[in-house]
Structure 1
Amino acid sequence: MSFSALSRRRLTWALGAVAFAGALSPLSSYAADPLRVGILIPGSKSDKGWMESGYDGLVAAQKAQGDKVKVQMIENINYADMEQALTNLASKNQLVIGVGGQTQAAVLKIAKRFPKTRFSIVGGNKGEDLPNVAGYDVKQAEIAFVAGAAAAMLSKNGAVSYVGGMEIPSIVNAGKEFGKGAAYINPKIKYFENYTGDFDDVAKAKEATLAAIAQGADVHYHILNLGLRGMEQAAKEKGTHIIGSYTDRCGTDPLYIAYSITGVGYQVEYAIGEAVKGSWKPGYKAFGLAMGPKASDMTICGATPAMKTRIEQIKKDIQSGKIQVLEG
């Protein structure tokens, strides 16, 4: 198998970790020893997006758990190298976390080879049911609808855009709901939707954003990793604005006028916390708005009282089923 230089460095470091044979006996039986956690962050832990949120959750979990956990992390892994990275983690840890739905197929495959190791997928969807795999659904489509509503409130031109990475169901559904949320506020809103095919392609994300700006879009939303840099470049050059994803960072960058919180880091904390307590369970688990603001929320930077009231009502209507959204 061919490895990028960065992937090789990460895996070489990881292979140096002390081996540990995990078991699906109660985790409490290891109470005298730290819980060994392996985490795969496929992209950059400083992407200002999904991966950074996951890493922030890992840092928070380490701070909260202290010497109860010992972590082995692999980041920046090519799709072709994902199975080998997960194999390495699974052979040395009791709990393995894949950050991102793009890890799901590889996790399900490797989990069958390591039935005594627990696996949690952050951003996992309903799929094959295995006794040692938990899938945590962030419900991106829910909060994308709310983000679309916020975008429509904030747009001066009556035009908004969305750029997604890989054109997979959860990313496409989020894009559709963003457009629906914008139309919920302004039925005449112009909406532009594009996919780059790669969460990390800066040039394609910039090109897609510039194309939308040329048609009038002045507020942009995304599900990107490092590709977000391209959206930032386009917005900065043309004087438009971005609704950020995953973490509330209001006040840190004038390009960003709102943030959706999708609880990626919260799910990492949850997986580790449950394992430490001995209450980790396999199976699909939906997070989203029903799990509270740490799991899913919307913040408009400098929101008016009217904006806040409207956003809160939309969130309630989604939870009650009055507003129907797609899965993902």
Structure 2
Amino acid sequence: MEASVFSRRVFALGGLLAAFLLAVPAQAADPLAVGILIPGSKSDKGWMESGYDGLVAAQKELGAKIKVQMIENINYADMEQALTNLASKNALVIGVGGQTQAAVLKVSKRFPKVKFSIVGGNKSEELANVAGYDVKQAEIAFVAGAAAAMLSKNGAVSYVGGMEIPSIVNAGKEFGNGAKYINPKIKYFENYTGDFDNVAKSKEATLAAIAQGADVHYHILNLGLRGLEQAAKEKGTKIIGSYTNYCGSDPLYVAYSITGVGFQVQYAIKEAVAGTWKAGYKPFGLAMGPKASDMVICGGTAEQKNKLEQIKKDIQSGKIKVLEG
């Protein structure tokens, strides 16, 4: 075969191959594998549900760009095993709640190529593959305390927290401080059940506060919130809800604090998909806007709204100082 004929045939085959490659659609990038640990119930009307709502919102927004594995309702003692399971199959692992932090820090050292985000994480050991997102619960709890004092008819309010860890205790202290900021003479009752999900203990704590005059209650609970609701319903008192604005959905609730749990879940996933995810501590709170942190009195007056807005500004400026967490 003459060289010129051979060259023409090779050229023709090359052209056909190029045309074929152009006609074949580009292969879509593999979806980001996301593992999420929701230690409590995704329908607890609290922290866990807010986190789950953020996951659902991320799935709706990102579609086929992510593939999700979720583990729900895990005891504290089983968190390390659950996180190990997630880390072995996913590129991003999210722990929803500060109670996951110790286990995340431990497991992440065994999976250095996996990214871990803790929603509700505080300043702690710094690792190259771990991000801690601080919802600044103490910050918005101060504002919630101010709202409670405005709404209380008896001049007495209460708080029930779950595990007695720094972020939960600091939020309780600041709720009381916020109430006293509005009414220095207000009575404040603070209790911890030692368990975010214990319905009986949270009901007992709330009933004890009601017996001493408390008529507006705040909480950092998961399923334990059911006990608080039972007590309030039985005694005709009111609740300030946490995490998400559900105004108008239940007459028991007169206000809601927004702590952006779902917002942070979305943030972690979107940053990982975009390739901009970063390790390290990141504070959210009021400085990140109303999706991250806010306070809403259901049907609140203009005077109440203006007062809460001023308190939020004073916290951000440092005029009002609050605890960490």
TM-score by shorter chain over 0.5: yes
Equivalent residue for 2:163, pick from 154, 162, 166: 166
Code of the aligned partner of 2:151: L
Equivalent residue for 2:64, pick from 59, 67, 73: 67
Q: Secondary structure at the match of 1:119?
A: strand
- How many Å separate the matches in 2 of 1:274 and 1:174? 28
- How many Å separate the matches in 2 of 1:72 and 1:197? 29
- How many Å separate the matches in 1 of 2:208 and 2:82? 37
Aligned length: 299
- How far 1:31 sits from its partner (Å)? 7.2
- How many Å separate the matches in 2 of 1:70 and 1:297? 31
Q: Secondary structure at the match of 2:33?
A: strand
Could you say if the C-alpha distance between residues 84 and 303 of structure 1 is closer, same or farther in structure 2, counting changes exceeding 3 Å? same
- The answer as to 2:292 corresponding to 1:292 is no
Code of the aligned partner of 1:176: K
Task: Flag the structure with larger Rg.
Answer: 2
- How far 1:80 sits from its partner (Å)? 1.1
Q: Which runs of 5+ in 1 are unaligned?
A: 1-29
- How many Å separate the matches in 1 of 2:182 and 2:75? 40
- The answer as to 2:239 corresponding to 1:236 is no
Per-residue CA deviations over 1:109-142 (Å, capped at 9, x if unaligned) read 0000000000000000000000000000000000
Code of the aligned partner of 2:94: I
2:116 maps to: 119
- How many Å separate the matches in 1 of 2:108 and 2:249? 40
- How far 1:204 sits from its partner (Å)? 0.2
- How many Å separate the matches in 2 of 1:60 and 1:298? 22
- How far 1:67 sits from its partner (Å)? 0.4
- The answer as to 2:313 corresponding to 1:316 is yes
Q: Secondary structure at the match of 2:222?
A: coil
Code of the aligned partner of 2:96: V
Equivalent residue for 1:256, pick from 253, 256, 266: 253
Code of the aligned partner of 2:223: L
RMSD (Å) for aligned C-alpha atoms? 0.8
2:133 maps to: 136
- How many Å separate the matches in 1 of 2:119 and 2:165? 16
2:21 maps to: none
Code of the aligned partner of 2:149: A
Q: Which runs of 5+ in 2 are unaligned?
A: 1-26
Equivalent residue for 2:186, pick from 185, 189, 192: 189
- The answer as to 2:266 corresponding to 1:269 is yes
The percent identity for this pair of structures is 87
Per-residue CA deviations over 1:1-31 (Å, capped at 9, x if unaligned) read xxxxxxxxxxxxxxxxxxxxxxxxxxxxx97
